[in-house]
Amino acid sequence: MKKLKFFIVSDSVGETAELVAKAAASQFRQDLDTVSMKRFSHIEEKSQLEEIAWLAEQQQAVIVYTLVRSDMRDALIAYCGRRDVQCIDLLGPIMHSIEHVLDERPTEEPGLVRQLDEDYFRKIEAIEFAVKYDDGRDPRGVLNADIVLVGISRTSKTPLSQYLALQRFKVANVPLVPEVEPPAELYEIDPDKCFGLVISPEILNSIRKERLIALGLKDDASYAKVDRIEQEIIHFNKVVNKIGCTVIDVSNRAVEETANVIISKMNSRKFERIRKDLQR
């Protein structure tokens, strides 16, 4: 049985071309041990393409390629044509069709899909982090977080953590209760990455009553009483003053608005640090 040889050529990693080649080869060789795949990744020079075409001729290999630059695709087609080497362009036809539909030129910048993939995995990692270190479950997360949220119960710490995670921030949140000493890690972190969430007693009173009713409980429990809430806020103020963190009033703010305030402050501080470093 004749062995089938593929040369996978890409200006990025080449995973896409290899998967497509394997899918096609499986229609002829169900035993993929009889199929050879050699990958040529991160190809940037036309001289490299000429050498690959020569090698393909010597080994009677089929070239399957994903090259985003049109001049590189044209060069490989020319080199393969001179040597009677079969070559299959996976990106060119699709890009031509999209260009025609949009009436726009492609950027022709290699590796953009991989950048998008990395961005996706950063987002997933941040979401998993927020879930793992939600509601003070493990105070060790405070030390590794990009952002730390502190506040009394029902100040939107969890939904805010998840929203910020979608923006690729690793967030830990810690509830503050007068009867429980805050974790020591809170006093070890950079105060600039910590944000205290406060809310008016009246609004929180209404929110907590609704919460109790939703749980099938009476709404006159201590948890929802204004004097208890004020006691918690006094404790909250002591803790955030000791940390030295920024305090945000979330009384009349949607989660998105609070997130934007935090992100804006984080970016401002980042640029300020860069400016100071440049002045040194």
In the annotated binding site for ADP, the residues are: 151-158
Cβ-proximal residues to 26 (8 Å cutoff; 6+ apart), any chain: 32
SS3 of residue 175 by DSSP:
strand
Contact at 8 Å (CB) between 166 and 259?
A: no
For the CA atoms of the chain, what is the radius of gyration? 29
Contact at 8 Å (CB) between 27 and 54?
A: no
Cα dihedral angle (150, 152, 155, 157), rounded to 10 degrees? 40
Name the DSSP class of 31: S
Contact at 8 Å (CB) between 156 and 197?
A: yes
Q: Determine the Cα–Cα distance for residues 113 and 115; give it in Å rounded to an integer.
A: 5
Contact at 8 Å (CB) between 198 and 153?
A: no
Phi, psi for residue 174 in degrees, rounded to 5:
-130, 120
Q: Which amino acid is at 102?
A: L
Strand order in the sheet with 246-249: 171-175, 147-151, 194-198, 246-249
Total residue count of the chain as it appears in this document = 280
Q: Determine the Cα–Cα distance for residues 161 and 13; give it in Å rounded to an integer.
A: 34
Binding site, by residue number, is 151-158
